[in-house]
Amino acid sequence: MTEHSPTDTLVEQIEQRRRRIPFRYRHLAGFTLVCTYILMLLGAYTSAIGAGLSCPDWPTCYGTVVPFLHPEIVASAPYTAVQIFAEWAHRGLAMVTGLLILGTTLAAWRSHREHRLVVWSATLALGFLPVQVVLGGLTVTQSLRPAIVTSHLGVAILILLSLQTTTLAAWYDAREHQSPPQ
């Protein structure tokens, strides 16, 4: 029976944790992909119910972050509460999804540095993000100009495809290396 020093045990624990990072990354990437898809569906729903301008300013909504904390704003608005909520929720989910994309990209660089497809497809999604944010703002401030709305959707699709690529590549990489958590 071989005895391990405390240092050996610590090194083994660190190595086990390092091996689990790629396993966790693929779940983060998958979650980010799903959130992005839901965000796109919510954007389509917002457009379909005619709520694209129900928050007439940007980045706030009627000059506030949460219009529902001011019932007088919602009551006097020319849109229904459902329309305002749809646009407001789309913006909120966009912010959360943007942070997830940032986290996914940082995690890709940390855990898959040697796997170029994982890293660069996540980085590409992050690179499209500022363009998407600007287009989202212009969609409102330019009163739903068709070219801007279409560009907003087009960039969303590019982000979704980039996230799909990093997610599938990470899952494929994990299957090749079979390093589940212990």
pLDDT tens for 160-174 read 999 999 999 999 887
Global confidence as pTM:
0.85
- Residues 45-91: tens digit of each pLDDT: 999 999 999 999 999 999 999 999 999 999 999 999 999 999 999 99
By annotation, the residues acting in catalysis are 87
CA distances in angstroms from 104 to 11, 23, 67, listed in the order given: 26, 13, 30
> Residue 146 belongs to what domain range?
16-177
Q: Which amino acid, 79?
A: Y
- Top-confidence residue, 45 or 24: 45
Query: Does residue 173 form part of some domain?
Result: yes
Which residues are CB-contacts of 149 (< 8 A; sequence separation ≥ 6)?
Answer: 47, 52, 139
Question: Over the chain, what is the mean pLDDT?
Answer: 91
- Is the pLDDT reported for residue 3 higher than 70? no
Query: Does residue 1 form part of some domain?
Result: no
How many domains does the structure of the chain reveal?
A: 1
What distance lies between CA 143 and its chain's CA centroid?
A: 25
Q: Which amino acid, 97?
A: T
Query: Does residue 8 form part of some domain?
Result: no
Q: Please, where are the H alpha helices in 49-145?
A: 71-76, 81-111, 116-141
What distance lies between CA 124 and its chain's CA centroid?
A: 13
Count of C-beta atoms within a 10 Å radius of residue 8: 11
Query: Does residue 131 form part of some domain?
Result: yes
Query: Does residue 73 form part of some domain?
Result: yes
Query: Does residue 132 form part of some domain?
Result: yes
- Is the pLDDT reported for residue 141 higher than 60? yes
pLDDT, residue 175, reads 75
Q: State the Cα–Cα distance between residues 112 and 118, nearest whole angstrom.
A: 7
- Band (pLDDT 50/70/90 cuts) for residue 182 is very low
Query: Does residue 42 form part of some domain?
Result: yes
- Band (pLDDT 50/70/90 cuts) for residue 12 is confident
Q: State the Cα–Cα distance between residues 118 and 162, nearest whole angstrom.
A: 9
Q: Which of these, 135, 153, 111, lies nearest to 27 by C-alpha position?
A: 111
- Band (pLDDT 50/70/90 cuts) for residue 152 is very high
Query: Does residue 182 form part of some domain?
Result: no
Q: State the Cα–Cα distance between residues 33 and 113, nearest whole angstrom.
A: 20
